[in-house]
Amino acid sequence: MEISKISEEKQKNLLSKVLEVLKTMASRPSGFIGLSILAFHILLAFLSPYLAPYDYKAIDPSLMLQAPSSEYWFGTDSLGRDVFTRTIMGGRTALTITFFGSIIALLWGGLLGIFCGLVGGKIDDVVMRIVDAFLSIPWILAMLLIVSLLGTSTEVLIPALGFFYGKGIVRVARAATHDVIAKDFIVSARARGHSNFSIIWNEIIPNVRDAILVEGAMRWSWMLLGFSSLSFLGFGVSPPTPDWGLMISNARGLMSFAYWSVIAPIVGLSSLIIGINLTADAFAKALGIDRSTKAPV
């Protein structure tokens, strides 16, 4: 009875902490804009199938490359599909894949980083060397290779992106752990004889959590950027699924006379990335972490 009350209280604390952080984030204009854009995109991702005026894959050669009109708000593309429909639906795949991808990146990168920071020594050296090696392969080359050989299904993309964007988190989590581990409260816990697991769970995680979460938020925007680049290069979402990167790639050859079909997805993708970025920035500031000193590795 009593214990459940305590855990309930903790949950309430967590919720109120989240609310407090959100409030701090929204109190700055940039944070407010970022959060609003992000919220708008998430809402759109959920609702767009119901809002879309046309079928996103309905091809009609007679309607090819129509300029924006009251009927087709953003015009039509080279296959006569409604650009508005495809634009509002174009972020769904990217958002989903990168969201779950960042969670995977966060989990494995964070845990491995904390582990390496805690144990140190030889294991740490070896793991960091391997992580460094992965860092030195340009992400685009590695992703292209994986995707071209394993295909572009969600089951491939999520873990592949998660893996590739997690290696940077390993470094951040390890550095944060190193900072914390020298503190006297960890020494105190060790001297009391707590187990490694208890030290990680009770003492380290609460103190590196913020840094890792901020890193995760940052990864999300980079992952989105990476994923869209893949789509743009033709290695991401397969047609006819609407996706901004792919739409830009398809429409760009014709943009000298049908600029609308390229502008609409550009606005969609740019606003989402800026929204996530501003949010990540505000998140970092609300938690008191300066993220601008970090390299985008």
**Cα(72)–Cα(224) distance, integer angstroms:** 28
Owner of token pair 């996706």 = 243
- Give residues with Cβ within 8 angstroms of 75, minimum separation 6: 65, 66, 67, 68, 69, 83, 258, 260, 261
Numbers of helices and strands, H then E, in the chain: 12, 0
The residue within the footprint of other proteins, chosen from 269, 282, 284, 286 (CB under 8 A), is 269
Q: Taking CB under 8 A as the criterion, which residues in 32-61 touch other proteins?
A: none
Quote the least distance from Cβ 266 to other proteins, whole Å.
5
Q: Which is nearer to other proteins, 70 or 192 (CB)?
A: 192
Q: Taking CB under 8 A as the criterion, which residues in 152-191 touch other proteins?
A: 183-185, 187-191
Which one, of 39, 157, 171, 36, lies nearest residue 98 by Cα?
A: 157
The residue within the footprint of other proteins, chosen from 67, 153, 202, 239 (CB under 8 A), is 202
Q: Tell me, residue by residue from 217 to 246, as one string, x for binding to other proteins by CB under 8 A and - for no binding.
A: ----x---xx-xx--xx-----------x-
Owner of token pair 């494995």 = 108
Which one, of 99, 81, 44, lies nearest residue 247 by Cα?
A: 81
121 binds other proteins (CB under 8 A): no
The residue within the footprint of other proteins, chosen from 11, 69, 154, 270 (CB under 8 A), is 270
What letter does residue 82 receive in the DSSP assignment? B
Residue numbers at the binding site for other proteins (CB under 8 A): 2-3, 129-130, 132-141, 144-146, 148-150, 183-185, 187-194, 202-203, 206-207, 221, 225-226, 228-229, 232-233, 245, 248-249, 252, 255-256, 259, 262, 266, 269-270, 273-274, 277-278, 281, 290, 292-297
